[in-house]
Amino acid sequence: MTKPRAITVIKLDPPDEREDEWNEWYSNVHSPGRFECGFLGFRRFEIVPNEPQVDTHQGGQAKYLAVMELPNTDVLTGPAYDAVTERWLATPPDSFEHLTMTLPKFARGVLELIGQYPNNDQPLLPDTKYIFMSAHDVPAEIADEFNEWYVEEHMPLVLNEPGFNTVRRYVHRSDEFPPMLSKGGELFTHLSIWDMDGLEAFKNPKFANYAVTPWQKRMRRLFKLKMSNVYKEISRGIAP
C-alpha cells in the first residue's frame, strides 16, 4: 500500500537581530538543503496580523511558518536524512541552524495527509500566495466524528465561498515523530491548510452573519481550536 504524502510544519519567531539575514539563510540555504534527502518542496510564510480575528486556545501565533513537502514519512528515517542532520548539527553553536531550534515559539511537527478537496488532483505547490491555517486539538475518542463533521458539513460551506480554492487536511504523527518545541511552542492533532486568493476571501458578508449549526456547536464543545490564522507566502522551492 502506498504511503500518504506528509509535511513537516515549523512555526517560530525570528531572532532579535539579523532577521533579514536569517530569512535569507532559511529560504536559500536551509530549506533547499533538505532536497538532497528526499524532500519535494517547501513554502515559507509570514503571518498577516488580525486576519481573521478569532479566539483560539493558543494566542500570539509565531511570525513565521514553513511547510516542507515530503513524499511520505520514510524520508525522515533514512540514512540520507540522518547525514544531512548530522552535518548541520556539526556547524558552530552560534550558527543559524542551532539558533533556529531555540527561537521563541519554535514548534516542529510531522503530519500525514488525510485528504485533499475538492479533488485529489492538486499541484505540489499551489499558485496562490495566501493560506488560512486552521488547527485543532481533537481527543482520540471523537476523531472519527470530527473528521466526518469537517468533511461533510464544514468544508463544503467554506469552499463554496469566493476566494477559497482548495484545502488539504493532515493529522499529526506524534506517535512516531514526537513534536520538537522550544519555550512557547505549541502544536495540534489536526491541521487544515486552505489556499486562498487573498484577504478579500474574508470580506464576504456571510462570514459576519454566519450561524453555528447544531453539529458544529456540539463539536466546538469537544475540540480545542489552536490556530485560525492567515499567512502570506514569502518564499518557495521545488526539488530539481
What distance in Å separates the CA atoms of residue 1 and residue 195, rounded to the nearest whole number? 29
For the record, the C-alpha cell of 226 comes out as 489552536
For the record, the C-alpha cell of 16 comes out as 532579535
pLDDT-derived band of residue 74, with 50, 70 and 90 as boundaries?
very high
pTM, 2 dp: 0.94
pLDDT at 173 over 90: yes
pLDDT at 209 over 80: no
For 113-171, write each residue's pLDDT tens digit: 999 999 888 899 999 999 999 999 999 999 999 999 999 999 998 898 889 999 999 99
Average pLDDT in the chain: 93
Structural domain spans, the chain: 6-238
pLDDT at 62 over 90: yes
pLDDT-derived band of residue 60, with 50, 70 and 90 as boundaries?
confident
**pLDDT on residue 208:** 64
- Residue 168 contacts residue 115 (beta carbons within 8 Å): yes
Fold for 6-238, please state it: Alpha-Beta Plaits (3.30.70)
What distance in Å separates the CA atoms of residue 180 and residue 50, rounded to the nearest whole number? 27
pLDDT-derived band of residue 14, with 50, 70 and 90 as boundaries?
very high
**pLDDT on residue 207:** 67
